[in-house]
Amino acid sequence: MTITPLSQEQAARLDRLYRNYHGLVLAVAGEYTRDAETARDVAQETWIRVATSLRRLRDDHAAAMWLRLLTRRAAADWYRPRRAHEHPINLTDDSDAPVAVGVSAEDEVLAWDTVRERVLKEAA
């Protein structure tokens, strides 16, 4: 994969997306990995993918959905090469509790506020 340097405008856009949506990316990664350390690794991989494909995001209003998609794909790819080495999972575990991934309360509130604003805009 060839990585081309970001322009100043693209770097500023990436920074803005990171500040606004990092909590959301961590939360989605946590939903799929159910492990805090792996969630952070998946989130990091997601931000690398965002940086390399930022030009594909034409409208920042669609950023939350796009980031969710990239995070889901990064989580799937994270486990794909490891499947042969994984141990069986106890499927009788009824725990549906979300996994804490080290997101600050401020980041979590910001992520959910952003999602709520987006949903309200779409509903209007």
Three-state secondary structure of 26-53: HHHHHHHHCCHHHHHHHHHHHHHHHHHH
Q: How far apart (Å, rounded) are the C-alpha atoms in residues 123 and 1?
A: 39
Under a CB-based contact definition with an 8 Å cutoff, are residues 23 and 103 in contact? yes
Predicted confidence (pLDDT) at residue 84 exceeds the cutoff of 80: no
User: Residue 118 above 90 pLDDT?
Assistant: no
- The CA-CA-CA angle for residues 49, 53, 58, to 5°, reads 130
Determine contact, residues 122/115, Cβ cutoff 8 Å.
no
Place of tokens 């690794």: 41
Write the single-letter amino acid at 90. N
pTM summary value: 0.63
Is the pLDDT confidence value at 116 over 90? no
Q: Which of 40-49, 95-104, 114-123 has the highest mean pLDDT?
A: 40-49
How far is 97 from 95, CA to CA, in rounded Å? Answer: 6
Integer Cα distance of 101 and 103 in angstroms: 6
Residue type, 81: P
